Amino acid sequence: MNWINLEHLLLALDASRPVTQAPALNHAGLCQQALRLAGGLHQRGARRLAIHLEDAAQLAAALLGAWRAGVEVLLPADLQPATRERWHSHVDLWLSDQPGDTPFEALMGQAMPPAALDLDLCRISLCTSGSSGEPKRIDKQLRQLANEVEALEQLWGADLGRAWIIGSVATQHIYGLLFRVLWPLCAGRGFERRQLPFPEDLQRASREHPAFAWVASPALLKRMGENLDWPALQPVRKVFSSGGELPADAAQRLQQRLGQWPAEILGSSETGGIAWRQGQALWQPFAGVQLSHGADGAMRIASPYLPAGHVEHSADAAEFSQDGRFRLLGRLDRIVKLEEKRISLPMLEQALCTHPWVAEARLGMIEQGRAYLAALLVPTAAGLHALRNQGRRVLLDTLRKHLAGHCEALALPRRWRLMQQLPLNSQGKLPQAALHTLLEAPRSMAPQVLAQQGAGDELQFNLAVPLDLACFSGHFPRTPVLPGVVQIDWAIALATEHLQAGLHFAGMEVLKFQQLVRPGDQLALSLRLDRARSKLYFAFTCAGQPCSSGRILLENTCA
């Protein structure tokens, strides 16, 4: 291949060198676009540019043009309102496909002359979430990216040859940026303009080229089933996967169907590539990457893809073998991955708590068939009012809409549990195990017992009506009311537990329901067992006012 260093891409105006198709674009055309965009940015006096473009060729031209004009580039992870607000003061222009932003064509001006790019002065910033829960901006010099694409070519360039690069991942993140845009540009390999997130699209694009390679995610590779024409896909030169570990069974299926193991890439926006593996359990560090253990057991990374002299402290625990390879043991922070996308649980919790209906929130990941997020929520007084007078569905739909302005749809919790307060321990913390237990459990039908007193056959309980009883969804959806039959069931259950084992419901007498019981109400329950007549007397009151009462006829199943 005719390799061009990243810093020299604007000097080689090669019309025979393909870049992309539909519409076709060669290297000379790309450079002209980049130099005209550089002129447009220079004429506007722009110094800081946010870029979010679906077309990988336009992104390439925008990056090269911005760097030629001496403009710093920010690649936001998305265009959510909260993201725009967060980075608004950091940029002069937003270049995107979204209405209201500056479109690609509008930035064209008089072309600047070709010139080499300064690897130390040209900069790009990637956006992700840090372990503190606040979105993190990662500043990189062009030299770091240049080092990485050269290392990738040395490792896999011979395998790829003239393969056409087809990607299912976004170019706004480090993996897609390197593998779908910068590496192909330097190597002279053509690439698809668009992200192809579905297996059928990947197959369709692959059939157009005699040699091709995939830049994919585990999420897509796991979904590639028997419906594809696998014999037609066997010419694939390389299958890359990054963003999370590919399950062993999915890797095995690909090996059986394609005759090769996928090349998995371990890395992050902060570090760039760390290691790779292909059909093995252990990871092999990239050349020049030095790994060690930190005091907390997490992996420390020194790399040519990091600023000179910087050592990155990751949140990944690892076990090293004598030959330098390693096994991952899991993350040590509260960053989770869904469909290979990093999601900061603290950031989402903070975003939820900005809504006037939310007092506290805790999120966790549930893995029941398919992984998803679940939320434990404590409403404010206003949130409780909304729950009692509009219902659970309205409450949660409102919170989902609010949260959608801060994250992608993938990160919206699919399961919600409402509580009056978090069950904190003596240290004021909610242990992770306790959180997962609460999130994984089905919605309960039991009361919360706050206090108990009495003796013999007479007992008094102070009860709280949980906010999230399963019966509230149907009784009634917009005005949740505790059903009378549930109140009777509570009386029987508490009597059976505390007064006598083996009691069995046999009938009811003189039932009265005088006041509605709502989510969050606190109840006083009086129980008196008349053993001689096999009757249980109960009475519920709320704030001193009678709610319900009656006699429950019992029979002793232990007799």
- Tell me the average confidence (pLDDT) per consecutive run of 10 residues in the chain, 559 residues long: 93 92 97 98 97 98 98 94 92 96 96 98 82 70 98 98 96 96 98 96 97 94 91 97 85 95 95 96 96 89 95 90 91 80 85 93 88 94 96 96 92 95 64 87 94 91 96 90 95 86 80 96 95 92 96 76
CA 59/CA 96 separation, integer angstroms: 10
Contacts of 361 (CB under 8 A, 6+ apart): 348, 349, 352, 353, 375, 376, 377, 378
The owner of tokens 């990947």 is 202
User: Could you tell me which residues are beta bridge partners of residue 542?
Assistant: 545
Q: Helices 392-404 and 345-353, interaxial angle, to 10°?
A: 120
Structure tokens at 382: 């206003």
Ordered alpha helix ranges (H), 161-276: 174-176, 183-187, 199-206, 218-222, 230-233, 248-258
Residues 6+ apart with CB under 8 A from 256: none
Give the pair of three-digit tokens for residue 237. Answer: 């030169």
Please state at what angle helix 381-390 crosses helix 392-404, rounded to 10 degrees: 130
Q: Give me 502's structure tokens.
A: 């083996």
What backbone torsions phi and psi does residue 17 show, to the nearest 5 degrees? -95, 115
Would you call 351 exposed, middle or buried from its count of C-beta atoms within 10 A (0-12, 13-18, 19+)? buried
* Site of tokens 């950091």: 90
Phi-psi region of 243 (alpha: psi -120 to 50; beta: other; left: phi over 0): left
How do beta strands 535-542 and 545-556 pair? antiparallel
pTM over 0.85: no
Helix, strand, coil fractions of the chain, as percent rounded to 5: 30, 30, 40
CA angle (90, 95, 97) in 5-degree steps? 135
Q: Can you give the pLDDT at residue 131?
A: 33
Kindly report whether the peptide bond that precedes residue 476 is cis, defined as omega within 30 degrees of 0.
yes
- Of 138, 164, 167, 218, the closest CA to residue 55 belongs to 167
Question: What per-residue confidence (pLDDT) applies to 429?
Answer: 58
> Contact 484/513 with Cβ under 8 angstroms?
yes
Q: Is 70 exposed, middle or buried (0-12, 13-18, 19+ CB in 10 A)?
A: middle
Measured in Å, how far apart are the chain's first and last C-alpha atoms? Answer: 90
| C-alpha dist (Å) from residue 309 to 147, 148, 192, 231 | 15, 17, 36, 48
Taking alpha carbons only, the member of 395, 151, 410 closest to residue 284 is: 151
Structure tokens at 234: 């066997």
User: Measured between alpha carbons, how far is residue 543 from residues 255, 500, 546 in Å?
Assistant: 68, 29, 8
Neighbours of 517 (CB within 10 A): 21
Task: Give the angle subtended at the CA of 167 by the CAs of 119 and 78, to the nearest 5°.
Answer: 70
pLDDT the model gives residue 243 = 83
11-to-33, 115, 149, 197 alpha-carbon distances in Å:
13, 6, 18, 34
User: Whole-angstrom Cα distance, residue 250 to residue 224?
Assistant: 9
